[in-house]
Every structure is written in C-alpha cells, then in structure tokens.
Structure 1
Amino acid sequence: MNNRAEVHDFLTSRRAKITPKQAGIPAGGQRRVPGLRRSEVAALAGMSVEYYAKLERGQLAGVSASVLDAIARALQLDDAERAHLIRLAQEANGSSALLRRSPRSKRWTVRPSLQWSLDAITAPAIVVNRRQDLLAANLLGRAMYSDVYADPTHTPNFGRFTFLDTAARRFYPDWNLAADMLVANLRTAAGVDPHDKGLHDLVGELSTRSDDFRRRWGSHNVRIHGTGVKTFHHRVVGDLELAYESMELIAEQGLVMTIYAAEPASPTAEALTLLASWASTSSDNSPSASSR
C-alpha cells in the first residue's frame, strides 16, 4: 500500500463529505469542490493552509497527536475514521511494527480447543480474519453460511461471496448495505496491516472482477463494529433477523468470533430450530459441499 496515496485519498474523501453547513461556516459563492475547501479545513483545525495541504498530500511523518486530533475534529471523523488516520500516521512514521499484523508464516488451522468451543455454542458461531476469510464455524454456523462454503476452489471468503457470487443478492436482502459494510471492514483491515499480501491480492482480484467493489473501495470508508442486527434470507429456512456479538480472540491475533442470536419466541428463533434440524440431517452444508 502506498501510504502517501492512502493518506491523500482518505483525507480528500473525508473533506468531500463535510458540507459548510455541517461545519458551521458560510457556504459563500459558487463552490468548485464538493464538501469543504482545504483552506476551510485548515481554519477549522487551527493551522496554515500550506501545512494542511502538505498533510493532505500524504506527508504525515512526524505529525503530532494534537495535529491529528485537530484534523479529526475539523473533518468530524468518527471513531473508526480517527483510528484509521492514526494508523496511517504510524505507518508514515515507520512504526508499523507497532501495528497488529496478521500471522503469515504458515497456513492457519483451527485449534481443536477452539473448534470444541464453537461446537459448544448452540447458536450460529463463526471465526473470521481481517481479510474476511471464514476460517471456522460450528454446525449451525456452517448451515447458516452454506452458500459461502459452496465454492470448493477457495477458502470461504465474504468478499468473494458478496461481489462474485450471485447467491449473495438473495442471501443479503439489503445487498447494498452488506456490500458497503464488507468493503469498509476490508479498508479498515488494510489500515491495521498495510503489508498483508493476502489482503492486497484479494483487493486486486475484487477490483478487477467487480465494478461494485472497485467503486466502494475508492470511497475509503472505514468502520468499527462489534454488535448489531443483520438480516439474511437463507435458501432453506427463509428470512432470518439475527442480533450479533463479535469479539477478538486474545490467543489468535487478528481473528474475530461472531455469535448470532434470535429474539426468543420470534419467527427467526423458529427458523433457527428448523436450520438446526436441516444441519443435522443434511450433508450439503459442510465446507466441502459444492451444491446448493
């Protein structure tokens, strides 16, 4: 990843999103750029236009925390965007060794104790890495994401599924929202570990094969999430509305476990009971299955 280009694209994209009204400044006459001008961001951040222009060109090396904080306030960055800016500054300073890196020395395999833990959970549970590879799941998790497991030629990956598999348009009733969230997660991952070759390769593949992905990747949106509600349409049991909780695995750097749960006595709870029955009697929800 070209750090200066990333900084430039990120800051200009954030500047374009803030209107003068949102920033509390007069709009003035005809404006040639969307959002704020550099001079307006500089004024809001309390620095010279020349200095801010230098930073926006990607020269973040040596920038103090107070300057980054001023830029974040001026651009009204949320927590995910602020963290992304700080990581870009760390990379510019050559302090990327302080960033959390994905292990790359050998192919990752699920520890037996982790799989036992997943299997002990009665709700759908999965483990993913920053590249959104689906690395492990319990029986109900595999059944829920049977479409993602359907391609035997690749490690199951939510990016490839979302943008390259037609089943995703059915599985995600609000496909645009799911696609936006997926790309924001990958963009965040690129900031956490800018040297992850696997992520570079995935982004290159998706950018080449999907206009929808390439457009979203260029927006430079990032996000932090750990809880919420997602909706799905499963090919066997129909609509699912599931709350989820995600947590990082302390023993496995860069991996996140997500557990899904239905509201008690809801239609989704009944659908999960049906899904569990289907999972226990069907073989086509296994990782090696290739049919739908």
Structure 2
Amino acid sequence: MGTPLGDFIRARRDSVQPQSLGLPDRERRRAPGLRRSDLAARAGVSVEYLTRLEQGRDRNPSVAVVNALADALALDPPERDHLRHLSKITGGECVAQTEPAPPRRDVRPAVLRTLALLEPGIAMVTNRLGDVLARTGGFEAVARGTGLLDAPSPNLTRYVFTDPRARTSFTDWDEVADERAFELWCGPSAAGFASFTAELAPAAGSEFTRRLNGHVVPRRGPWRLHHPSGCELELIRETLELPDDAQQLVVLLPADEATARAVDGLIGRSSGRLRAV
C-alpha cells in the first residue's frame, strides 16, 4: 500500500521532463517523466531506497533526504512545503492513533467581531475541509443563487465536486477543484480529514479521488465567477490564517472596476448581515 508521500514523489517524477533538468533523453520510454534511477542519482540515494519510499515501504525519510529529493525534482517553494508536510504526516501513520476529533465549527467571538467590521465586504471564515462557518452579508449576496449556501451547513469542497451549478459558477472550475482537493492535505493531520473524504468520495467520484491522490499544488489565483444574475466577477483572495482554531478568514476583493460595480449592485439588493453557522 502506498502513502501520500510516495504518491507525491512518484507523481512529480512522472511529470518532470529529463531535458528540463539538463538530462539527456537517451531513448523513448514506455512511461513519461524522469527515470527512478535518474532521480535517485540526483538525490544521492539508492534506487532501492527510492523505490521503498514511492511504494510506502519506508515512511520515515530524514530531513536531509527530503531536501535532497526536493532539490532533485526542482520543486518550487509551495511544492517543497507540501513534500515536507507529507513526510511528517506519513511518518505518523505508523503510530497507533486515536479517533481524530472533528474540526471545530464554532468561531471565536473576536473573529466574528472582526468579520463584522468587514461588512459590507465579501468575507467568510472557513476551514481546510471547506466548511463555511461564518460569512458577511456581502458574501451571502455574491453567493446567492449559486447553490453554495443552499445546504444547512455549507461546504465549499462538497459544493465544487457534487453540485453541477459549481461548474457554471466557477469559470476556472478545474483549478478550483485542484485547490479544494489539495487543501484537504493541509490540515493538522492526515487522519483529520479521513471521515470527510470517505463520505465525499462516493458522491464526488473520480474527479475528486484523482485530484486528492495526484497532489497537484494549485496556483491559487483569483476566483472568476459567472454570477446567476449574468455579471462576470473576478475576485482577489486575501487569506488570514487562524492557526489556533485551524480556520481561515478569507476576504474577497474586486479585481477590477467592472467587478466592483457588479458587487455594489449585488450587495445593494441585499439586507447585508453577518451569518455564523
């Protein structure tokens, strides 16, 4: 059985073209990407050890090995961070764990007061699973009609993968889907999202499981939305991490004048009040 760490190393190795690292493409290969022997040589480890890592038979690489693999694969900073994160949670899989506690759903009063100060702006408090735990009236006005807030406990990840309206609402649906799947790996532990992914996978299907296991590090660009009212929105995201709560405060800002005017119109038709789930 593989591990998230092994899956990521193998996926990155398969995506690297030898020429991009200055290696000769000696002959046509049956599989794409970098040979295991080439990666092992660049990282200074044996092919046998790299094979054990990729297959999940070795789960505790040293910091030096992790850094060497990151260098050998020419990972960018977000990818290096993800590799280090996976090495930590994969190593912990060998230790017996208690049933993980569900993520907290309450939002601290101080965070709610901060959110209220952002009215009538577009902002929400969420967690890595995608639960929308609190939102401004501005967020509600912009999301109205998309289907995101129809559920009693809205969840952005579930919406993206199971609600057909999400593909219409998000102009760059594929990028948003990559990001939502990747976010699940960024929580405090791998076990923390096990029940959520098990519950979501049957409904979301291969679009979800392929992305979850592919470890594609997203570019995190602006959200481009086709609003049900007919207007096109481009919203820049600014995220404030709340590490003690394992939550995030996300503020969405118009990227251009056309979006700003459209947002003003949407919010002007809304009563605008803070909502916490």
| TM-score calculated relative to the size of structure 1 | 0.81
- Select which of 207, 216, 239 maps to 1:221: 216
- Partner amino acid, structure 2, of 1:75: L
**How far is the alpha carbon of 1:134 from its aligned partner?**
0.8
Tell me: CA distance 1:115–1:237, structure 2 relative to 1, closer, same or farther (3 Å): farther
**How far is the alpha carbon of 1:71 from its aligned partner?**
0.5
Distance 2:84 2:180 in 1: 21
Following superposition of structure 1 onto structure 2, how do residues 63-74 of structure 1 map, counting pairs within 5 Å? 63-74=61-72
Distance 1:105 1:51 in 2: 36
Does structure 1 residue 119 correspond to structure 2 residue 116?
A: yes
Distance 1:177 1:14 in 2: 18
**How far is the alpha carbon of 1:110 from its aligned partner?**
2.3
The answer to whether the 8 A contact 1:149-1:287 is kept is no
The answer to whether the 8 A contact 1:244-1:260 is kept is yes
Q: CA RMSD in A?
A: 2.8
- Superposed CA offset, 1:155-198 (max 9, x none): 21111111111211221122222212222222334xx41121xx
| TM-score calculated relative to the size of structure 2 | 0.85
Match of 1:193 in 2: 189
- Select which of 222, 244, 260 maps to 2:252: 260
The answer to whether the 8 A contact 1:187-1:222 is kept is no
Distance 1:61 1:206 in 2: 27
- Select which of 221, 230, 235 maps to 2:228: 235
Distance 2:102 2:33 in 1: 44
Deviates more, 1:37-46 or 1:172-181: 172-181
Does structure 1 residue 159 correspond to structure 2 residue 157?
A: yes
Tell me: CA distance 1:51–1:110, structure 2 relative to 1, closer, same or farther (3 Å): closer
The answer to whether the 8 A contact 1:128-1:255 is kept is yes
- Superposed CA offset, 1:117-137 (max 9, x none): 212113201111011111111
**How far is the alpha carbon of 1:52 from its aligned partner?**
2.1
Match of 1:278 in 2: 269
Distance 1:144 1:110 in 2: 22
Distance 2:3 2:91 in 1: 15
Report the identity percentage: 33
Secondary structure (helix, strand or coil) at the match of 1:132 reads coil
Tell me: CA distance 1:45–1:249, structure 2 relative to 1, closer, same or farther (3 Å): same
Does structure 1 residue 245 correspond to structure 2 residue 243?
A: no
Secondary structure (helix, strand or coil) at the match of 2:45 reads coil
The answer to whether the 8 A contact 2:122-2:139 is kept is yes
**How far is the alpha carbon of 1:224 from its aligned partner?**
7.6
Tell me: CA distance 1:85–1:174, structure 2 relative to 1, closer, same or farther (3 Å): closer
Following superposition of structure 1 onto structure 2, how do residues 54-65 of structure 1 map, counting pairs within 5 Å? 54-65=52-63
Tell me: CA distance 1:6–1:145, structure 2 relative to 1, closer, same or farther (3 Å): same
Distance 2:263 2:114 in 1: 20
Tell me: CA distance 1:90–1:224, structure 2 relative to 1, closer, same or farther (3 Å): farther
Tell me: CA distance 1:270–1:176, structure 2 relative to 1, closer, same or farther (3 Å): same
**How far is the alpha carbon of 1:92 from its aligned partner?**
4.4
- Select which of 195, 200, 210 maps to 1:206: 200
Distance 1:267 1:139 in 2: 20
What are structure 1's unaligned runs of at least 5 residues?
98-102
Distance 1:157 1:74 in 2: 38
Match of 1:169 in 2: 167
Q: How many residue pairs are counted as aligned between the two chains?
A: 269
Distance 2:149 2:185 in 1: 23
The answer to whether the 8 A contact 2:4-2:213 is kept is no
Tell me: CA distance 1:60–1:242, structure 2 relative to 1, closer, same or farther (3 Å): same
What are structure 2's unaligned runs of at least 5 residues?
none
